[in-house]
Amino acid sequence: MRRSLKLVLGSVGAAALVYLYYTEVKPVVIFGLRSDYAKAIPYEKTPEGIDSLRAESCGTCHREIYEEWKTSIHARAYEDPFFQAYWKRDGNIWICLNCHTPLENQQPTLIKEIPRGRVEKAIQVANPHYDPEYQKEAITCAACHVREGVIMGPFDDSVAPHPTKFDPSFRTTQVCYRCHNVVSGPAQLYRVGPCGTYVEYEGKFFMQERGMICQSCHMPEVERPVTNGGPIRQGRRHLWRGGHDPDMVKRAVGVQVKAYPARPKAGEQVRFTLTLINAGAGHKIPTGDPDRHFTVEFIVQDKQDKVLDRRTDTMGRWILWQPAIVELYDNRLLPLASRDYTFSYRLPTNQDRMTLKTLVRYHILTDDQHEMLKNKYGLTAEDPYSFTIYERNFPLSENLEAALNETAYDPRFACATATAQSG
């Protein structure tokens, strides 16, 4: 009797602890709060002299910037199918909107209070200024440029039909900080928050020696009039290419393949080394969303393309999500760092036109997450979530050396190593 009472009390106590842990300690989302992004950017009225805050309306005068922005992931940060699927999984909780549709005018509810910092308990009231069409514009022009009815920008001598104000932060990384530095919360043991590119940004080389900021790579410089017929100015293209753009990912990595011996004979063991270098990103690669990763593959094929042997390595971060978030391992590459991946294969004595295929692929999601989002949260199979950024076939024969020499010169690789040595 006593023993079973103890058992009952024990289980009730344990259940209460688990309940308290999930309702009071561990946040319901995979990140913590910070005072800036805990709030939406306050309601904006339309600045004097223009008709509307809509991007399209800014675009009547700032045509090229508008066209660029429209192709960017910032313009799609709400309708983005990957965002929509994950947001659905998280019960469409409001906090996500503070970065994905950051203006108060874009949000259905106003947040009055967040008791004990628990986002799921926030006290919300309907927002009379909510504009669902404006919400679809996601990270729209006004999210970065409009404050208190004034258009903020990088110049101090504009002559514009709308009020303008010089804001030096446009020429610093400060404009990106609010959203690209997502922090971890209690019981979330990340080394760096989930979308924490800002803190991974290795200012030492790119910033201090070469004066590069986020915009240098993500908003390429351009000389052009800001509006039709205006004076030519030094400005930036509003492109923000990143992990969704294979060409941008290619710019980040240099690849070199070597073999020993370089002229293998039948029956010999050959050792291949693929060197991957973070030659072009100012932060770790991959960065941001913790699902992002690279794979490096070696595949031996016969002349009918039948796979005889293969090896796959992964570069990314490994995170235990439950019961607490614990980042177990992170083997991503810092700026200018490189890593060797090796693979050994013994050539058969009767080889005939065999090849080694080397592949580097970038993945937006893991296969498991993709399945889960597809089966339960409406992601469709049409949204590509991984792509090849490097692919080379090498003949496993006496011709190997010539093929290796052909690929030895990779301009990105050469450039990065040269500057690294001089610096």
Looking at beta carbons only, is 119 or 299 nearer to ligand HEC?
119
Per DSSP, the residues of 397-413 read STTHHHHHHHHH--HHH
Shortest reach from residue 26's CB to ligand HEC, in Å: 14
Looking at beta carbons only, is 319 or 396 nearer to ligand HEC?
319
Check residue 243 for interaction with ligand HEC (CB under 6 A).
yes
Q: Binding marks (x or -) toward ligand HEC, 269..308, rule CB under 6 A?
A: -----------xxxx-xxxxx--x----------------
Check residue 101 for interaction with ligand HEC (CB under 6 A).
no
| Backbone Cα Rg of the chain | 26
If 0-12 CB within 10 Å is exposed, 13-18 middle and 19+ buried, where does residue 152 land? Answer: middle
Distance in angstroms between the alpha carbons of the first and the last residue of the chain: 76
Contacts with ligand HEC by CB under 6 A: the residue count is 95
**DSSP secondary structure code for residue 289 in this structure:** S
Looking at beta carbons only, is 185 or 286 nearer to ligand HEC?
286
> CA torsion sign, 97 to 100 to 105 to 108?
negative
Name the segment binding ligand HEC (CB under 6 A); options: 105-113, 147-155, 345-353, 409-417.
Answer: 147-155
271 - beta bridge partners?
260, 344
> CA torsion sign, 403 to 404 to 410 to 415?
negative
Check residue 145 for interaction with ligand HEC (CB under 6 A).
yes
**DSSP secondary structure code for residue 47 in this structure:** P
360 - beta bridge partners?
296, 390
Check residue 390 for interaction with ligand HEC (CB under 6 A).
no
Closest C-alpha among 104, 130, 102, 127 to residue 42: 104
Among 111, 139, 299, 356, binds ligand HEC (CB under 6 A): 139
**Cα separation values, 35 from 30, 117, 185, Å:** 17, 10, 13
User: Considering only residues 153-212, where is the footprint of ligand HEC by CB under 6 A?
Assistant: 153-155, 158-162, 164, 166, 170-171, 173, 175-176, 178-180, 182, 195, 197-198, 201, 206, 212
Among 27, 32, 44, 100, binds ligand HEC (CB under 6 A): 100
Q: Binding marks (x or -) toward ligand HEC, 35..74, rule CB under 6 A?
A: --x------------x--x-x-xxxxxx--xx--x---xx
Name the segment binding ligand HEC (CB under 6 A); options: 85-93, 104-112, 124-132, 254-262.
Answer: 85-93
Shortest reach from residue 217's CB to ligand HEC, in Å: 3
